[in-house]
Amino acid sequence: MSRRSGGFVVLEGIEGAGKSTQLERLGRRLAAAGAEVVRTREPGGTGAGERIRELLLDPALGDIAAETELLLIFAARAEHLHRVIRPALQRGAWVLSDRFTDASFAYQGAGRRLGMERVEVLEAWLQGGLRPDLVLVFDVPVRVGLERALARGKRDRIEGEDVAFFERAREAYRTRAGRDADRYRLIDGTPDPETVERAVERIWNDWLADRSG
């Protein structure tokens, strides 16, 4: 499948890292340059995916088995891949996703302590060889991220987890980013959005230059 005119870019990070803000800004820049841009998110991105998202984030759901949570997320991801991501890539669009499978490694593999092997099995089965071309990981201290999330209003079911859960998730993100410097970029998400945006722009331009070279 040729994707020279577009690509699959994922923005990752714990709650309050600023990834959603930067996704919108990057999307606007690409659209202004004349590219087709598909902005999406996980869990979500499709009708079924958004229903699953509502369920997973609803505090009224309470505690469910970690395996159930992981499988629900991959069910939403299957729809996302089938109906949004693969078709967009096939027609040469840029797909910008607010989270993808790295979030499952971070939140369920590490945060829920399910281990990475179970996530890897589901990833290989569902995605085959498809991986994001670029993963931007926005890194903030857990307490900073949670303070930002709390300032947005009522906490969802995931945001209500304890600090230790998010510390494990953050460390998993940092570890994964450190293992693959070709596809991952770790970005300090603590400054103001404009400073972070400038960092993203520098990384993006360098990445595009390397990609075209």
Enumerate the known binding-site residues for ATP: 13-20
Q: Which token pair is 149?
A: 């999330």
| Spatial separation of the C-alpha atoms in residues 13 and 75, rounded to whole Å | 21
Amino acid at 151: A
The DSSP code sequence of the chain is ---TT-EEEEEE-STTSSHHHHHHHHHHHHHHTT--EEEEESS-SSHHHHHHHHHHH-GGG----HHHHHHHHHHHHHHHIIIIIHHHHHTT-EEEEE--HHHHIIIIIIIS---HHHHHHHHHHHHTT---SEEEEEE--HHHHHHHHHHTSS--TTTTS-HHHHHHHHHHHHHHHHH-TTTEEEEE--S-HHHHHHHHHHHHHHHHHHHH-
Query: Residues within the annotated binding site?
Result: 13-20
| Spatial separation of the C-alpha atoms in residues 31 and 192, rounded to whole Å | 23
